[in-house]
């Protein structure tokens, strides 16, 4: 996670929303690879590290985007970031438990997480589209 925060901060300096999209896409890919290789301990550990690093890359970019989006209330934006991350963690636990309880197996939560990250990519792409449309309007 430390590695991810450093890389995410550096990447957010280059492109905030680009970092969000790339981080979420990497989370999705690495979660699928983790679930697919969980039976091989070394590969599972490598992909678990990569899931954590890519997820941690996301935080600095999201924090920066929210604070930039609310220049008159940066503290409120920062608190919303943490609240949203905590809500996402809780939702992930609920969805992960639901698919295990449904009998889909212990790897299923990783696939659910990959789908959720994919949805995040779509949302970030929509935000980019909205911001470009708004910039073209000015």
DSSP 58-103: HHHHHHHHHHHH-TT-HHHHHHHHHHHHHHHHHHHHHHHHHHHHTT
pLDDT surpassing 90 at residue 22 = yes
What percent of the chain is predicted at pLDDT more than 70?
99
pLDDT surpassing 90 at residue 78 = no
What pLDDT does residue 31 have?
97
**Domain boundary assignment for the chain:** 2-137
Spatial distance between the Cα atoms of 118 and 23, rounded to a whole number of angstroms: 11
Question: Rounded mean pLDDT of 57-78?
Answer: 90
pLDDT surpassing 80 at residue 104 = yes
Spatial distance between the Cα atoms of 80 and 101, rounded to a whole number of angstroms: 31
pLDDT surpassing 80 at residue 102 = yes
Spatial distance between the Cα atoms of 55 and 4, rounded to a whole number of angstroms: 7
């Amino acid at each position: 996670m430390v590695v991810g925060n450093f890389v995410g901060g550096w990447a957010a300096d280059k492109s905030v929303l680009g970092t969000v999209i790339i981080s979420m896409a990497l989370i999705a890919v690495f979660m699928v690879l983790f679930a697919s290789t969980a039976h091989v301990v070394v590969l599972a550990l490598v992909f678990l590290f990569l899931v954590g690093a890519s997820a941690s890359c996301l935080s600095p970019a999201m924090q920066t985007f929210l604070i930039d989006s609310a220049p008159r209330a940066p503290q409120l934006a920062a608190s919303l970031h943490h609240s949203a991350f905590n809500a996402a963690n809780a939702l992930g636990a609920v969805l992960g438990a639901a698919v295990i309880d449904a009998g889909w197996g212990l790897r299923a939560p990783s696939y659910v997480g990959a789908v959720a990250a994919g949805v995040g990519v779509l949302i970030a792409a929509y935000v980019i589209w909205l911001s470009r449309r708004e910039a073209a309007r000015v």
